[in-house]
Amino acid sequence: MDRLKNLAEWMAERNMQLDQLLNRSGLEKRVVTAILKGNYTSSPRQRERLASALGLAVDEVAWGQGMGVDHIHGHGPQFGRSP
């Protein structure tokens, strides 16, 4: 199976600009921009709307979040010793 493409890659392949995606999906610009940057995890409904706007099925898009998640343990020095 080929590697899944993210939303930006599908947009480039389809020669679709952000404003076209916004019009077709009906989603807010700030939400779509955050999804494109990988700073926001989209809801199932948002994924359906974006995939549909691109003429795709939801499972044809790589929806992974681009930013790493830092796991921080403890409460900081103000609470004493951290685990």
**Architecture of the structural domain at 7-60:** Orthogonal Bundle (1.10)
Per-residue pLDDT tens digits for 23-41: 999 999 999 999 999 888 8
Global pTM reads 0.75
Question: Please, what is the angle between helix 18-25 and helix 44-53, to 10°?
Answer: 120
Q: What are phi and psi of 65, to 5 degrees?
A: -80, 135
Per-residue pLDDT tens digits for 8-27: 999 999 999 999 999 999 99
* Residue ranges of domains in the chain: 7-60
